[in-house]
């Protein structure tokens, strides 16, 4: 038996919801704990062992002074580094501040609070250090987390779908809300993985798994616009939890952003 | 000669979010005892501005991955008041069941996986002593029960997608709700089993005088509605409608914290919110079997020792299962209308609920354009932050002569008793931007979505 992979979990600016997927089911945790050594996971255990680690999972976005340094240290300590969740893969909903007049933020933030100095922008981990894999979602899916860890244990590439949410609607037999109900839905440009739960609940997909492979966002929103959705409503739809993902970033702007191009 | 030493511990472990402790002892006296919060703020107050009313439940969920339902239901309550709509008793009951699910999963996680190791001499739930090995499995099954309830009603356990202003996007299935009954019945018994274990843990003697804050409603245990009550030594000091919250509480900054602290007026007094405050206020309103278990637990009520909070959480798991069981059994048919329709209109309103960790207050103003013009949120850990500081001050004299590691561990255990949700506390900071006034100076966050800008 080879020694089990050594795992570490790290957190930056986030809600902790992705880390919580570790504890989703007793079965999942038992499987993880049986095949992986959890060496660093402050939210769950007090014992913290130093690296190097075989696999590092990072939740949260780079958003405060000191984060960059810590991200580099984490990169150096982890053989296989994975960004988990919308914050780590796209900057999270807190990246909406990236459209704000960047020069005005650090000064304002320095005045209040003085304890943590926020950066003008909230950005994904991969903007600063090379990452080996991304797990998408707000939050990530426990099944995909298990697949990722299984793949690492077996030494193969994780199998995570790259097609759009539409494929999951078809697979689950959910009637298309965009076609049948006239709802402006981001499913056609959003990566699968959630099980298409929003259309299954008679509502629009709001893109929490981020852009699917090669999405044509402008074409989709143009179509919704011609059908009657306002540019402002469509801009809000595209700009939520993955607003700073490159494919959603510019497509969500109804006009030139204030304070110049971000 | 003055002898001074500092004890620092960071990060705190087995808590949600990034925090630490900073102690300075001078001649055995605690000159400084800080619960430091260094979670980077995410500025939700700003990013809600300019968003549509229907987006608010989805956005505020992201403040906390452990208690998203509390954020969603508090926002819905406030926005429904602002819009002048009433969801009716059927939706109300399902929302209560949803909130019960969140209490079960959040409390089960804290009691069994995060807090119990403190009393069993181990560093985590992975190394429970053999005679308590079953705690991990029971905790995970209870947590899975809570997650299942949230999934049945909300579509998924973390950041549910089915909670809407006005009710639900799609009517939850009555059959699936009925099917929860068997596991809820197991959950009630499992929680009582856990209570029998945790109520006999070896608790440090630590009786404090608290100003308790919780909701109280005429009927039922405080959960998703009610008046705000403040008491001290069993005497009611304040009993106000939620609308008067801002006259009696204010938010202030602490030097060592990225989270605003909420204090009681006058005098900026600390207060205690959460399960201990709720049970002390509303013991009589626990459902009958949970009430009996509380009486038989060996804990004297009202209880003034925060270390007992692990037992109060176990009682509240039982109470949530007991009430959830009644709702699940009585659910006869799907909702005839999943939600009440509304038209956005300019208005302002507030609402408060009891999140697992305590009183959660939201206030929103809808502007003339029908979008959110202003938002304020006071999370439970912001409320408890000053009290945690005061408790640290009270704890230190008894342990000041001990070594650094012992002091740090004792402080961490005290803080963990509060089950602080540090992410919630830090993320609602509002940014004050100091800059000159004048045309174009006041670019509000969110303006990029407003037409023509």
Q: What is the ipTM of this complex?
A: 0.93
Residue B385 has pLDDT above 70, yes or no: yes
In this complex, do B39 and A38 lie within 8 Å of one another by their Cβ atoms? no
Band (B1; pLDDT cuts 50, 70, 90):
low
Tell me the shortest Cα–Cα distance from B91 to chain A, in angstroms. 16
| Averaged pLDDT for residues B176-192 | 98
Give the closest residue to B267 by CA, choosing from B415, B386, B399. B386
With an 8 Å Cβ cutoff, are A26 and B140 in contact?
A: yes
Q: Is there a domain that residue A254 lies in?
A: no
User: In angstroms, what separates the C-alpha of A41 from chain B's closest C-alpha?
Assistant: 8
Contact with chain B for residue A17, Cβ under 8 A? yes
Average pLDDT over residues B389-394: 93
CB contact under 8 A, A235 and B114: no
CB-CB neighbours of B127 under 10 Å: 14
Q: Tell whether A70 and A92 lie within a shared domain.
A: yes
If pLDDT is split at 50, 70 and 90, which confidence band does B433 have? very low
Query: Rounded to an integer, what distance in angstroms lies between the CA atom of residue B372 and that of residue B55?
Result: 10
Contacts of B59 in chain A (CB under 8 A): 93, 240
- A109 at B interface, C-beta within 8 A: yes
**pLDDT in the model for residue B442:** 29
User: Bridge-partner residues for A83, per DSSP?
Assistant: A58, A134
Q: Which of A116, A202, A254 sits opposite B41 (nearest CB)?
A: A116
pLDDT value for A251: 81
A151: distance to nearest CA of chain B, Å? 23
Residues of A whose CB is below 8 A from B39: 13, 116
The predicted structure's pLDDT at residue B13 = 86
Q: What is the CA radius of gyration of chain A?
A: 19
Residues A81 and A177 in one domain: no
Rounded Cα distance between A174 and B170, Å, is 13
Q: Who among A19, A26, A198 is closest to B137 (CB)?
A: A26
Identify the DSSP state of B115.
I
Chain B contact probe: residue of A37, A92, A96, A231 with most B CBs at under 10 A = A96
Among the partner residues A33, A115, A241, nearest to B258 by beta-carbon distance:
A115
Contact A48 B37 (CB under 8 A): no
Q: What is d(CA A44, CA B113) in angstroms, rounded to the nearest whole number?
A: 7
Asked if the model's pLDDT at residue B432 lies above 70, the reply is no
Domain contains A208: yes
Average pLDDT over residues A170-191: 97
User: Tell me, what's the pLDDT at B43?
Assistant: 87
Cβ under 8 Å to B: A residues 182-201:
194, 197-198, 200-201
d(CA A257, CA B446): 10
Is there a contact between B262 and B378 (Cβ–Cβ < 8 Å)? yes
B170 to A13: CB separation less than 8 angstroms, yes or no: no
Residue among B365, B374, B124, B61 at smallest CA distance from A17: B61
| Chain A residues touching B162 at Cβ < 8 A | 201, 203
Same domain, A119 and A191: no
Residue B451's Cβ-count burial label (10 Å; 0-12, 13-18, 19+) is: exposed
Backbone angles phi, psi at A137, to 5 degrees: 120, 150
The stretches of B354-438 forming alpha helices (DSSP H) are 380-395, 404-417, 422-427
* CA neighbor of B359 nearest in space, from B240, B241, B272, B447: B272
Point out the residue among A12, A94, A258 whose CB comes nearest to the CB of B453: A258
- What per-residue confidence (pLDDT) applies to A253? 67
A10 to chain B, any CB pair closer than 8 A? The answer is: no
Residue A35 CA, chain-centre distance (Å), reads 25
- C-alpha to C-alpha distance for B370 and B377, rounded to whole angstroms: 20
Q: Is the pLDDT of residue A156 over 80?
A: yes
Tell me which residue in B124, B164, B453 faces A46 most closely, judged by beta carbons. Answer: B124
Based on the domain organization, do A110 and A139 belong to the same domain?
yes
| pLDDT higher than threshold 50 for residue B257 | yes
If you write DSSP's letter for every residue of B394-407 in order, what string do you get? HHGGGTTTS-HHHH
Question: Binning pLDDT at 50, 70 and 90, where does residue A110 land?
Answer: very low
Contacts B415 to A, Cβ<8 Å: none
Report the C-alpha gap between B126 and B117 in whole angstroms.
9
Q: Which residue has the higher pLDDT, B34 or B449?
A: B34
CA distance to partner chain B, nearest, from residue A236 (Å):
6
| pLDDT value of residue B254 | 81
Residue A254 binned pLDDT confidence (cut-offs 50, 70, 90): low
Tell me how close the Cα of B236 comes to any Cα of chain A, in angstroms. 35
Angstrom distance (rounded) from CA B170 to CA B181: 21
Cα B150 to Cα B368: distance, rounded to the nearest angstrom: 34
Q: Which of residues 204-223 of A touch B (CB under 8 A)?
A: 206, 208
DSSP states of B29-80 as a string? EEEEEEEEE-PPP--HHHHTTT-BGGGHHHHHHTT-SSSHHHHHHHHHHHHH
Residues 140..169 of A with a Cβ closer than 8 Å to B: which?
Answer: none
Residues A138 and A192 in one domain: no
Q: Each residue of B417-433: b (16+ CB within 10 Å) or e? A: bbbbbbbbbbbbbbbeb
The model's confidence at residue B15, banded by pLDDT at 50, 70 and 90, is: confident
Using one digit for the tens of pLDDT, what is the confidence trace for B262-273? 999 999 999 999
Both A24 and A148 in one domain: the answer is yes
- Closest partner residue to B158 (CB to CB) among A20, A93, A111 is A20
- The CA distance from B323 to B317, in Å, is 10
Give me the phi and psi of B348, to 5 degrees please: -135, 140
Average pLDDT over residues A231-255: 88
Question: Please, are residues B270 and B166 in contact by the beta-carbon 8 Å criterion?
Answer: no
Q: Is the peptide bond preceding residue A164 cis, with omega within 30 degrees of 0?
A: no
Task: Provide the shortest C-alpha distance from residue A156 to chain B (in Å).
Answer: 28
**Which of B61, B65, B338 to mutate to test binding with chain A, by most A CBs within 10 Å of its CB?**
B65
Q: List Cα–Cα distances, A30 to A16, A42, A146, B126, in angstroms.
A: 21, 18, 11, 10
Which stretch of DSSP H or E encloses residue B326? helix B309-330
Location of structure tokens 């809570």? B146
SS3 B352: strand
Question: Which residues is B262 bridged to in the sheet?
Answer: B251
Residue A180 and residue A94 in one domain:
no
Q: What is the share, in percent, of chain B residues with pLDDT greater than 70?
A: 94
B20/chain A closest Cα distance in angstroms? 12
Q: Which positions ≥6 away from B112 have C-beta within 8 Å?
A: B125, B135, B136, B138, B139, B140, B142, B143, B194
Domain boundary among A154, A174, A196: A154
Which residue ranges form the domains of chain B, and what is each CATH number?
44-427 (1.10.645.10)
A24 with A145, same domain: the answer is: yes
Q: Which residue of A has its CA nearest to B447?
A: A258
Which helix (H) or strand (E) segment is A53 a member of? strand A53-59
* Residue A261, in any domain of the structure: no
Q: Are residues A147 and A188 in the same domain?
A: no
A176 belongs to a structural domain: yes
Question: What gap in Å lies between CA A247 and CA A211, rounded to an integer?
Answer: 6
A64 touches chain B (CB under 8 A): yes
Decide if A159 is inside a domain.
Answer: no
Question: How many domains is chain A partitioned into structurally?
Answer: 2
Nearest-CA residue of chain A relative to B141? A26
**Which of A48-57, A96-105, B90-99, B394-403 is least confident?**
A96-105
Q: What is the pLDDT of residues B210-253, one digit of tens each?
A: 999 999 999 999 999 999 999 999 899 999 999 999 999 999 88
- Give the number of other CB atoms < 10 A from CB of residue B439: 5
Judged against a pLDDT cut of 60, whether residue B435 lies above it is answered with no
- Is the pLDDT higher at B178 or at A152? B178
Q: What percent of chain A has pLDDT over 90?
A: 71
Is residue B422 classed as helix, strand or coil in its secondary structure? Answer: helix
Distance from CA of B220 to the nearest CA of A (A): 30
A212 shares its domain with A99: no
Residue B4 binned pLDDT confidence (cut-offs 50, 70, 90):
confident
Asked whether residue A259 is assigned to any structural domain, the reply reads no
Same domain, yes or no, for A37 and A118?
yes
pLDDT at B421: 86
Q: Are strands A53-59 and A6-11 parallel, antiparallel or unpaired?
A: parallel
Residue % of chain A over a pLDDT of 70: 88
Mean pLDDT of A4-11: 94
B40, A112: Cβ pair inside 8 Å?
no
The answer to whether position A255 is within a domain reads: no
The CATH number that applies at residue A122 is 3.40.50.700
Q: Which residues of A touch B125 (CB under 8 A)?
A: 44-45
Model confidence pLDDT, tens digit, residues B324-369: 999 999 999 999 999 999 999 999 999 999 999 999 999 999 999 9
Residue A7 contacts B where some CB pair is shorter than 8 Å: no
Considering the domain architecture, whether residues A130 and A15 belong to the same structural domain is answered as yes
Closest CB to A33: pick one of B12, B126, B257: B126
CB contact under 8 A, B155 and A197: yes
Domain annotation covers residue A56: yes
Boundary of a domain, candidates A154, A180, A198? A154
Q: Region B1-9: what's the mean pLDDT? A: 81
Task: Identify the pLDDT of residue B404.
Answer: 87
Give the range of the structural domain holding residue A145, as residue numbers without chain letter: 6-154
Q: The tokens of B417 are what?
A: 């008793």
Last residue of a domain, one of A154, A176, A211: A154
């Amino acid at each position: 038996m080879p020694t089990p992979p050594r795992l570490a979990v790290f957190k930056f600016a986030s809600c902790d919801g992705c880390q919580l997927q570790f504890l989703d089911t007793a079965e999942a945790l038992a499987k993880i704990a049986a095949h992986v050594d959890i060496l660093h996971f402050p939210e769950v255990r007090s014992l913290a062992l130093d690296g190097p680690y075989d696999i590092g999972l990072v939740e949260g976005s780079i958003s405060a002074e000191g984060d960059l340094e810590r991200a580099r240290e984490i990169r150096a300590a982890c053989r296989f580094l994975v960004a988990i969740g919308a914050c780590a893969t796209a900057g999270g909903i807190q990246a909406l501040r990236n459209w704000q007049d960047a020069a005005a933020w650090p000064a304002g933030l320095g005045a209040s609070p003085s304890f943590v100095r926020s950066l003008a922008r909230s950005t994904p981990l991969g903007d600063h250090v090379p990452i080996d894999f991304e797990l998408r979602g707000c939050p990530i899916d426990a099944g995909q987390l298990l697949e990722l860890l299984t793949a690492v244990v077996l030494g193969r590439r994780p199998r995570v779908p790259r097609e759009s949410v539409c494929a999951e609607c078809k697979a689950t037999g959910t009637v298309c809300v965009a076609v049948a109900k006239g709802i402006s839905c981001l499913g056609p440009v959003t990566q699968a993985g959630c099980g298409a739960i929003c259309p299954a609940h008679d509502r629009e997909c709001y893109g929490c798994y981020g852009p699917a492979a090669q999405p044509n966002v402008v074409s989709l929103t143009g179509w919704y616009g011609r059908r009657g959705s306002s540019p402002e409503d469509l801009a809000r739809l595209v700009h939520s939890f993955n607003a700073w993902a490159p494919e959603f970033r510019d497509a969500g702007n109804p006009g030139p952003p204030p304070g110049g191009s971000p | 000669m003055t002898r001074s030493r500092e004890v620092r511990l960071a990060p705190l472990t087995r808590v949600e979010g990034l925090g630490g402790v900073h102690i300075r002892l001078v001649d055995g006296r605690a000159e400084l005892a800080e619960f430091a919060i260094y979670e980077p703020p995410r500025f939700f107050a700003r990013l809600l501005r300019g968003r549509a009313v229907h987006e608010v439940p989805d956005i505020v969920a992201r403040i906390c991955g452990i208690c998203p339902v509390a954020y969603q239901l508090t926002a819905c309550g406030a926005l429904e008041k602002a819009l002048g709509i009433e969801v009716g008793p059927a939706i109300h009951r399902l929302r209560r069941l949803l909130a019960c699910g969140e209490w079960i999963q959040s409390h089960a996680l804290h009691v069994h996986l995060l807090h119990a190791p403190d009393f069993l001499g181990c560093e985590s739930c992975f190394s429970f002593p053999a005679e308590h090995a079953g705690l991990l499995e029971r905790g995970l099954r209870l947590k899975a029960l809570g997650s299942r309830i949230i999934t049945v009603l909300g579509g998924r356990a973390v950041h549910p997608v089915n909670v809407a202003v006005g009710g639900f996007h799609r009517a939850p299935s009555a059959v699936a709700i009925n099917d929860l009954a068997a596991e809820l019945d197991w959950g009630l018994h499992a929680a009582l089993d856990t209570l029998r274990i945790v109520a006999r843990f070896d608790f440090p003697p630590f009786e404090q005088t608290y100003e308790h804050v919780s909701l109280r409603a005429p009927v039922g245990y405080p959960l998703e509605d009610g008046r705000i009550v403040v008491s001290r030594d069993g005497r009611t000091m304040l009993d106000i409608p939620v609308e008067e919250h801002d006259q009696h509480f204010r938010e202030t900054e602490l030097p060592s914290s990225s989270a605003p602290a909420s204090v009681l007026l006058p005098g900026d007094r600390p207060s205690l919110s959460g399960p201990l405050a709720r049970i002390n206020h509303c013991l009589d309103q626990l459902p009958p079997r949970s009430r009996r278990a509380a009486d038989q637990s060996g804990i004297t009520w009202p209880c003034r020792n925060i270390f007992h909070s692990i037992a109060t959480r176990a009682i509240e798991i039982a109470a949530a299962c007991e009430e959830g069981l009644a709702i699940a059994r009585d659910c006869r048919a799907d909702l005839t209308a999943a939600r009440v329709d509304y038209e956005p209109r300019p208005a302002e309103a507030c609402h408060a609920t009891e999140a697992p960790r305590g009183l959660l207050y939201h206030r929103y103003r809808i502007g003339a354009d029908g979008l959110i013009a202003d938002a304020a949120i006071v999370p439970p850990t912001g409320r408890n932050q000053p009290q945690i500081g005061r408790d640290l001050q009270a704890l230190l004299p008894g342990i000041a002569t001990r070594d650094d590691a012992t002091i740090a561990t004792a402080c961490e255990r005290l803080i963990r008793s509060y089950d602080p949700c540090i992410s919630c506390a830090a993320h609602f900071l509002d940014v004050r931007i100091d800059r000159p006034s004048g045309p174009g100076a006041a670019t509000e966050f969110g303006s990029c979505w407003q037409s023509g800008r």
